[in-house]
A and B are shown apart, each in its own frame.
Chain A
Amino acid sequence: MDFSFSEEQTLLRNTIQSFIQDNYDFDKRQAIVKSEEGMKQENWKQFAELGLLGLPFSEEDGGLNFGSVETMIVAEEFGKGLVVEPYIQTVVTCGGFLRRANASIKEKYIPGVISGQDIWAFAYAEPQGRYNLNDLTTTATLDGDNYIINGYKSVVSGGPWANKFIVSVRTSGDQRDSDGVSVLIVDKNSEGLSIRDYPTVDGSRASELTLENVTISKDELIGEEGKGAELIELIVDETIAAICSEAIGAMKVLNDATVEYCKTRKQFGQPIGKFQVLQHRMVDMFMQYEQSVSMTYMVNLKLDEEYAERRKAASGAKVQIAKAAKFIGQSAVQLHGGMGMTDELNVGHYFKRLSMIENSYGNIDHHLKKYSSAE
């Protein structure tokens, strides 16, 4: 057993830390969030130059062939900077689908991801489905060489920035069957696709997608028709591992900021960090953080295990991270007092991002049920 990072991994971490330092202090981040576009193309180019956009792809596909630990490092450091550019959406989630697709899809799309030319988003959620990935009313029917897609996708994270979407659809079966789920690539410019973009409470952007007779070639199918459910669940688990990593980065910043604040903020003639009730709260924040780090390592190391093991790892990690995200986020605001309530201090922004991570890809109740079902 060895939990140390290799020299290469440490180098990767340092690279991202200096990117954040140079390009992503809180003021710069806020300027990006408030800009018309909501992200910075220049940063995306830098990700490409640094090789980050090719991280998980095989060397054959032009990538660096790195694994989940490297992805974890990137996501964690991005979490510390509250980076809004859709790295996880494009590289981890959609990249996860693409690198498992057939040769012609790989050839057609992976270079555009690695070069930074394309940004991708995963459109899976539907209003009636909540966190059930298989509850799909969006349908695709084969018509000659084409699929015709009709339906609605909700809260597509990073949607406004994407020029390509991966969409989960039903090609057969009943609304919630696991059989009959398929995965399709839809270009943003497809006729019949209407998109409504909007900001999200955590400084990111998302979209609602309406698909009306969107017609795409059947070559845009990832995996086998009707057999997409397993693949989606695997990639969602990989995504969960990445957002858990992002979360521990954000938690770390909040914990450090809170301890620092309590050492310097004086009330009643002493630093408020001298009050035992606040000390214990910060100790609990620290312990929640350490447990979250551990569960994040655990899930990132177990992504390749057989199903039941992976299922419990991903759901277990998500439950721990969601609980800690809430506790640490709320406590950091509480201990910063009125200042924690202001938009001008970074603390509230970390709290808000963590609060959205809580239910992304399923909340605590959802993952407790998934955990139980894996026994």
Chain B
Amino acid sequence: MQLGFKDEDIKFRDEVRSFIKETFTEDMRKTLSLSKNGHAGKDLHVKWQKSLHQRGWMAPNWPEQYGGAGFTSTQKYIFESEMAREGAPRTIPFGLSMVAPVIMEFGSQEQKDKFLPDILESNVWWCQGYSEPGSGSDLASLQCKAENKGDHYLVNGTKIWTTMAQYADWIFCLVRTSKTEKPQQGISFLLIDMKSPGIEVRPLITIDNSPEPHQEVNQVFFEDVKVPIQNLIGEENKGWTYAKYLLEFERGTAYSPGLYRGIKNLKEIARDTSVGDGLTLLDDNDFLNKINECEIQIQAMEFVEHRIFSALSAGQRVGPESSILKTRGTEIGQYLQELAVEAIGYWSHPFVEDTFANVNEPSIGPEYAATITPEYYNGRKTTIYAGSNEIQRNIISKAVLGL
């Protein structure tokens, strides 16, 4: 057991830092800081990802044969931490971390050749078609139907909470190809071109009120959409297996670096806030205790992450324990957002609909205030999506504790 990184890891960390310094420009930082939901328009994300690709760092989790970065697991952790610490844009996961691993594992050679290079080079934007209005936590109950018509599938139905479908060129979907007793058995995994006739994307405005085109989620409607049969992943009716494989990737992220950044921001806000006794909020012991308590929770997270990732580097798989990361990571993140709203006091009230819009007027209150309350509202999603935290606790209870 030992703490701290080896010399070569420190050297790598410095390389990552200087890359961020050069590539994550002031302009990008500014634009990203105006977002209520962490997304800042297609152009910014594509530009950022193309620079990552140029450096060979777009795909830390891909095998090298497909163009992966070839990081050790320590390097992966360092890379992710440094990015989160600086608040760099997160790579959009739908292509890179979700559909790509599935294509690598279960796709045909033709599919690999067709899709993987464009994902790596950020030429194509993907979105995820899983949830439906009637199928959230109980994903296997999904109804969106794909009929096998020989050379194509005919798709009818709808997908909801489709993150950034407004930018998407392709969508990967779980569809029902047969009615079976066990709902999991009739599901297939289809890749669908968003330009296909019969697809409609409708924005869903969420409670942070990010206006079009900055909305985070959409509902996608499919009406008699023809999908070539060669866009099926693996075997028909085996989609559930592939989906479960994918979910493991969705839950295995490190939260603590981004959370530490939240603490740092919070302290800056507290230092900038007068509290009516001539001092600042950072001098207020009630508030300082909350910041520190939160920081300690993050430290506990960080060391859970270290333990999990060091087990990974010793060749073990991330098991259901990864649900700890999702559960605690999102809950601490929400608490940080609550504390930020608390910190800014009455400046939490003013509402700015389009925070990206160029305005000539000065902001109402400090510039950073406009996104803080919407971020708190938006952050409520984190304990709902990707398997609600109730579901995560069920997983831990069943798969870890054996209850």
Interface residues of A (CB under 8 A from B): 125, 127-132, 135, 154-155, 157, 176, 196, 198-202, 206, 208, 266-269, 272, 275, 277-278, 326, 330, 333-334, 337-338, 340-344, 348-349, 351-352, 355-356, 359, 363, 365, 368-369
Verify B273–A348 contact, CB threshold 8 A: no
A130 to B134 Cα, complex, angstroms: 45
Interface residues on B, range: 35 or more
Interface string of B126-154 (1 = CB under 8 A from A): 00000100111110010000000000000
Interface residues of B (CB under 8 A from A): 131, 134-138, 141, 160-161, 204-207, 209, 217, 273-278, 284, 286-287, 338, 341-342, 345-351, 353, 361, 364-365, 373-374, 376-377, 380-381, 383-385, 388, 390, 393
B276 to chain A: closest residue by CB: A132
Say how far B271's CB is from chain A's closest CB, in angstroms: 14
Verify B345–A131 contact, CB threshold 8 A: yes
Given A198-B350, A334-B384, A340-B380, also A267-B138 (CB < 8 A):
yes
Verify B377–A352 contact, CB threshold 8 A: yes
A365 to chain B: closest residue by CB: B286
Given A268-B138, A343-B209, also A200-B365 (CB < 8 A):
no
Contacts between chains A and B (CB distance < 8 A), count:
134
Verify A128–B274 contact, CB threshold 8 A: yes
Verify B137–A267 contact, CB threshold 8 A: yes
Q: Describe A's contact surface by its main secondary structure.
A: mixed
B residues near A206, Cβ cutoff 8 Å: 349-350
Verify B345–A341 contact, CB threshold 8 A: no
A residues near B350, Cβ cutoff 8 Å: 155, 198-201, 206
Verify A356–B348 contact, CB threshold 8 A: yes
Verify A200–B351 contact, CB threshold 8 A: yes
A residues near B348, Cβ cutoff 8 Å: 201, 356, 359
Say how far B38's CB is from chain A's closest CB, in angstroms: 14
A202 to B364 Cα, complex, angstroms: 16
Verify A201–B274 contact, CB threshold 8 A: no
B residues near A356, Cβ cutoff 8 Å: 348-349
* Contact with A277, one of B274, B277, B393 (Cβ below 8 angstroms): B393
A249 to B154 Cα, complex, angstroms: 49
User: What are 23 A-B interface contacts by the 8 Å CB criterion?
Assistant: A130-B346, A154-B346, A176-B277, A198-B351, A199-B353, A200-B350, A200-B351, A201-B350, A202-B349, A206-B349, A267-B136, A272-B137, A278-B390, A334-B380, A334-B383, A337-B137, A338-B381, A340-B380, A340-B384, A349-B207, A355-B377, A359-B341, A359-B345
* Contact with B349, one of A155, A267, A337 (Cβ below 8 angstroms): A155
A336 to chain B: closest residue by CB: B384
A132 to B346 Cα, complex, angstroms: 12
A326 to B376 Cα, complex, angstroms: 12
Given A127-B274, A355-B341, also A201-B206 (CB < 8 A):
no
B residues near A334, Cβ cutoff 8 Å: 380, 383-384, 388
A79 to B385 Cα, complex, angstroms: 30
